[in-house]
Amino acid sequence: MTQLAPYAVCEANSRGRQVAEPAPLARCEFQRDRDRIVHCTAFRRLEYKTQVFVNHEGDLFRTRLTHSIEVAQITRSIARALHLNEDLAEAVALSHDLGHTPFGHAGQEALNTCMKDFGGFEHNLQSLRTVDVLEESYAEFNGLNLLHETREGILKHCSHKNAEGLGEIGRRFLEGHQPSLEAQLANLADEIAYNNHDIDDGLRSGLITLEQLDAVPIFARNRQIVERAYPGLAGRRLIHETIRRMINLMAVDLIDRTRANILEAQVGSLDDVRVAPRLVAYSAELLPELRVLKGFLRENLYHHYQVLRMTDKARRIIQDLFAAFMNDPRLLPPQYQQMARSDKPRAIADYIAGMTDRYAMKEHRRLYAVGEIY
């Protein structure tokens, strides 16, 4: 790890864990957090949770797991350039999607609709609930007992109403303060990863084409750079060379703008970071191009009729599962039946949110398909 900047999170300025533990012997506290995340059950489940395409639609499309790994790589590289805490930034990046439902955002929207009368459902809050409560690995505490700074990085956004019930971890939303630079960085590294890799998956699937992407300036410009450097290059190599340049462009822009913001705000400590405006940011010149890219992906990939057909099926699966368990919680596994005695809707949401795509489809068949017994 490089020399940390004075405004980076370190063990000396960390707010620690909810349950005190002996210090690790051969690694730092932030490495301990990262390792606990990598070894937890929720992290393994991400392998079979949708990013854009449902897992069975192809072996080479991103899943929540590969996406999280790619986010962690981008986060760590930028953190090093900014002299931030790489281990903390990596831990936040690896854990940011732990609470995501099966079937991506369609699953989250469906579960939130089901929970509208019971406090709603939001995957950031569910990720925090996963690491604070739901993981069952340790004898002395529920969850993973992560550091405050890792937990605040997981909770990217939160309503005032929800923040009021979260204690210390929700206070910054009530006071209008910012999380650490490491947390801010992981949030934008997530955008860099999915904006670029969704293009790659969209092209691989055939739902979008290179010709369509000529209307997206940031892609068209970088494609032209590649074609001038490598005349005749085509296919997967052309796509990869273009996308890697886009990732580099976004990362370097983010580094340069963030350095300038830190200097302008005269930030000298972690406390300064918390009361400053959001410092990790893109330049004003790049932002319009990113908006065009996001708009293109929304209209041409996320709203493609084939994707919408699958997401519509996914919504029905989530809604049917929720309805069945609400009607008769005895259909839940024993662990969740016990949880349902104190809060039935939340126990059902925990169970459904923890499912993989294929497990949710299998559970739906068990409950609704005639002749499906086991």
Q: How confident is the model over 121-148, as a mean pLDDT?
A: 95
| In the block, residue with structure tokens 């300064």 | 272
Q: Are 243 and 196 in contact (CB under 8 A)?
A: yes
Of the candidates 67, 118, 113, 116, the residue with the CA atom closest to the CA atom of residue 93 = 67
Domains of the chain plus CATH, in order, are 29-307 (1.10.3210.10), 308-368 (no CATH)
- Structure confidence at residue 372 (pLDDT): 59
- Structure confidence at residue 55 (pLDDT): 52
Of the candidates 237, 217, 218, 216, the residue with the CA atom closest to the CA atom of residue 227 = 237
pLDDT in tens, 324-346: 999 999 999 999 999 999 999 99
Q: How far apart are CA 164 and CA 166, in angstroms?
A: 6
pLDDT in tens, 209-218: 999 999 999 9
- Structure confidence at residue 53 (pLDDT): 58
Question: What are 115's two structure tokens?
Answer: 């929970």
Q: Are 150 and 88 in contact (CB under 8 A)?
A: yes
pLDDT band at residue 1, thresholds of 50, 70 and 90? low
Q: How confident is the model over 173-198, as a mean pLDDT?
A: 96
* pLDDT surpassing 90 at residue 33: yes
Q: How far apart are CA 141 and CA 203, in angstroms?
A: 45
Of the candidates 128, 323, 299, the residue with the CA atom closest to the CA atom of residue 207 = 299
Q: How far apart are CA 312 and CA 229, in angstroms?
A: 43
pLDDT in tens, 279-327: 999 999 999 999 999 999 999 998 999 888 888 999 999 999 999 999 9
Q: How confident is the model over 76-80, as a mean pLDDT?
A: 97
The alpha-carbon radius of gyration of the chain (Å, integer) is 22
Q: How far apart are CA 115 and CA 326, in angstroms?
A: 11
pTM score: 0.93
Q: Are 185 and 89 in contact (CB under 8 A)?
A: yes
Cα–Cα–Cα angle for 171, 35, 184, rounded to 5 degrees? 40
Element (H, E) at 194: helix 181-205
- Structure confidence at residue 61 (pLDDT): 80
